[in-house]
Structure 1
Amino acid sequence: MGVMKNLSSSSPIVFSAGIAAFAVGSVAAPALAEDPQSERANADLVSLLNAQVAPRHPSARYTDAASGRSFTLDRTGPYPLLKYEDVSEVIVLSASNAQRGDEFLKNDVGRNVMKVTELGNVILFTPGDAHGSPAGLDERSDPLGLPEYSGDLDERIAGSAEMLAQKIGHDIAISIEPELRQYANWAEDALSNAERGFRRANSKFASELTGVRIVFSKGAFVYCEEGVLSIGVAPHEGFAGRPSSEAIALAISLNGHRS
């Protein structure tokens, strides 16, 4: 293919305009939207075309053909990491084998987030979408960095408490254990996930909570008990050491224990 001639091992990998247009246009076609078999075949075809110009890379930036959202998939560490460009949360994934040498990547509540084909290309699954849509590779990217720290944890807690109070209709107490404050960037990261978890959760159960407690732990956990949402953070485990916003939302909505 002509595109291949313009690429080198050190240059960014990009799609030709023709492939990008095909990825978007084919997903939007009404006939394919009504036929799951055609959708799957179409997604596989886009992956095949992508593979001709984009060999597998440890960390790369993609665009979801269905939504237009960009995200980074970072596979340089012990577990895959996913981060959308328009959201600060980094999602930890785990791999499981699929048919034909493909693999599924699941989040911490066991939901399939994406499929990586044997050719190294990506099919993205959003909640409620069992068929998925192809994600076009834009370019290589740097590995994802550690969460940033605002510089004032108490101010960050106060702002979060005010925001959550507006959502649930009453004041809510937020505490971060002193031992965890030594890892302020991870404490803030967990607090951000808690905020997103509240936004994603069943509003009835969210409004029943009166407190959020974030503690230092040996492993990630989240549960609700007696009106308090408890979140365990293990800083030495990196992003895998805290629950995702989806896990937090599920714990709030179930109003029961999850670990």
Structure 2
Amino acid sequence: MLSVALGFAGPALAWPQSLREGLFGSRPSDGRQFAAPPIARYVSEDGDVFTLDRTQPRPLLKFDNSFEVWALTPQPAPRGDTIYKNDLGEPVLRATRLGGITIFTEQRPGGSAAALAGVGSPLRLAIMGPQALLERLAQASARASRAARRLIPFEAEATPASSALIADSAMITSEAVVRMTKRADSRHFLDRILKVRLVEGRKASAQVAQGVLEVTVAPPQGLAGRPSSDRIVQVAETFR
């Protein structure tokens, strides 16, 4: 399954000499705080590999085994730490002032320590033409329809400025549909969604009306300008 062309490829993992060094870095002798690369790759205790790109206004995170890029919101925490939350306000990452990283996942909601593995590559959207967008919409529709075992068409109102983001949002929406098919408490909500429409707007959002799941993207915000799969699932589950 193809996803929007992003700069995912990274250099070979440069393993730290020790877990402590990987988590907290080598503390400088002058007492300064350790600073991780602005775009870095990490490996969790469970073996999950992910890239954290902090060069954007909203930090971005992507696991190697997923095509979804998560836009995070940093918030200060006790002891000078920073907590990074998703668009539902849930913690995804915690960074200490010394460079330590804890990743929170569905499998490890209590958190898993992650070691710095080297410099990462930027997480970016690539320019996309009309034909490539149509192909991506078809891929998203096929993936969602296969999971739901019925046709779920995807349509979009796109411009050159929004094509790449809409294509990415289509794949994220298909991921939300796949996740809903695996949850007994979401199946009956999914059965009432007849079509997916992707449009431009001033703010990223998702809503369901008259059987249409409408996903709005905000192109000026880049990858942060579209709802996550978590947000889309939540919206679908509250549909009445």
TM-score normalized with structure 1 length? 0.76
Aligned position for 2:142 = 162
* 1:92-121 per-position Cα deviation (integer Å, ceiling 9, x unaligned): 000111111111100011110010011122
Task: Tell me if structure 1 keeps the 8 A contact 2:161–2:219.
Answer: no
Give the aligned length: 216
Aligned position for 1:107 = 86
**Unaligned ranges ≥5, structure 1:** 1-11, 21-45
1:51 equivalent to 2:25? Answer: yes
Give the whole-Å Cα distance in 2 for the aligned partners of 1:148 and 1:200. 28
**Unaligned ranges ≥5, structure 2:** 1-12, 28-33, 181-185
Identity %: 31
Alignment partner of 1:232 out of 205, 208, 216: 216
Q: Name the SS of the counterpart of 1:105 in structure 2.
A: strand
C-alpha change, 1:187 and 1:118, in structure 2 (3 Å) is: same
1:244 equivalent to 2:228? Answer: yes
Aligned position for 1:78 = 57
1:14 to partner: Cα distance:
3.5
Task: Tell me if structure 2 keeps the 8 A contact 1:211–1:229.
Answer: yes
State how 1:37-186 maps to structure 2 within 5 Å. 46=20, 50-52=24-26, 55-66=35-46, 68-127=47-106, 129-147=108-126, 149=128, 151-177=131-157, 179-180=158-159, 182-186=161-165
1:199 to partner: Cα distance:
1.6
Task: Tell me if structure 1 keeps the 8 A contact 2:218–2:226.
Answer: yes
Give the whole-Å Cα distance in 2 for the aligned partners of 1:200 and 1:181. 30
1:211 equivalent to 2:195? Answer: yes
* 1:141-197 per-position Cα deviation (integer Å, ceiling 9, x unaligned): 2322224648532233233223222222322222101x4465321111010110111
Alignment partner of 2:207 out of 223, 227, 235: 223
C-alpha change, 1:49 and 1:122, in structure 2 (3 Å) is: closer
Task: Tell me if structure 2 keeps the 8 A contact 1:60–1:137.
Answer: yes
Aligned position for 2:10 = none
C-alpha change, 1:138 and 1:183, in structure 2 (3 Å) is: same
1:255 equivalent to 2:203? Answer: no
Deviates most, 179-188 or 198-207:
179-188
Give the whole-Å Cα distance in 2 for the aligned partners of 1:48 and 1:169. 45
Alignment partner of 2:174 out of 169, 192, 195: 195
Task: Tell me if structure 2 keeps the 8 A contact 1:147–1:189.
Answer: no
CA RMSD across the alignment:
2.3
Larger RCO, structures 1/2 (Cα 8 Å, 6+ apart): 2
Counterpart amino acid of 1:60?
Answer: A
1:248 to partner: Cα distance:
1.0
Deviates most, 154-163 or 114-123:
154-163
Q: Name the SS of the counterpart of 1:215 in structure 2.
A: strand
Larger radius of gyration: 1
Q: Name the SS of the counterpart of 1:131 in structure 2.
A: coil
C-alpha change, 1:173 and 1:97, in structure 2 (3 Å) is: same
